[in-house]
Structure 1
Amino acid sequence: MQESTVLVVEDDDAIRYGIELRLRAMGYAVHSASDGKDAIEKAERILPSLICMDVRMPLVDGITALQWLKSHPILRDTPVIILSACPTDQSAAMSAGARYFLAKPFASEMFEAAVKQVLNPKSKSQLEGACTG
């Protein structure tokens, strides 16, 4: 079985590091970016299985990066979980093509369930409180 690759896009170092640790503990290969511009460049290069992305970041925000990803012929089907401390970002994220929206702070269990569900949609994981597309 090939290891899934996850791209974590978060400008807050502590949050990014925590997400990276959780994903590595789950057995995923992890790459990271600190803004939407870097995320687009890395996504084109590594073709991740999943992208977990913040919204409010420098250079290119998460919604703009998501819209670009969804217009890219190779990356358009890459699932994206949007992570944001601002609940008003949910509508824009889902409209732009996010697979899930998780409000920060979120429980580790909720994050893990969302990742597993996205990477294995046939699983019976329950995502109470998460917004799915």
Structure 2
Amino acid sequence: MEPEVKQETTSADFISEEPGTVSTFSSDSQAGEQWKQITDKATALLADLPEYVTSFFGEYRRPIVTIGLIAGAIVAVKLTLAILGSINDIPLLAPSFELIGIGYSAWFIYRYLLKASNRKELSEDFNSLKSQVLGQRNNNGQ
């Protein structure tokens, strides 16, 4: 048995002006035209690119800003977690921060939560801060 030999044929455009004349292959002129068409389209696209970007951003401003804020928040959270993880790896620093946190919590409970008068003071301070942040007036009309 003989192996089959496959012959591949390619199609090319031949230009023939009159019947019976020798055809010439026009790859150079067609390739030049194709490159010219491609460069014309690319030039037109690059010339109109600022207009496309402006109209795209104008039309989709809110979703783009939302996606940017979400991406920024994700990066900020990852960065914060990386910093906290590296701080946690430092010997004696994590237990020191835990002791500081426990001490501050104990002081806060002693200062503001044990007595009713101190709780009222904390509530007034909180409402004052809330009115300053939100821009509302407090109950005294000030």
Please state which band the TM-score falls in when normalised by the shorter chain.
Answer: under 0.3
Higher relative contact order (CA 8 A, sep 6+): 1
Structure number with the higher strand fraction is 1
Structure number with the higher helix fraction is 2
* Structure with greater Cα Rg: 2
* Length-normalised TM-score, structure 1: 0.16
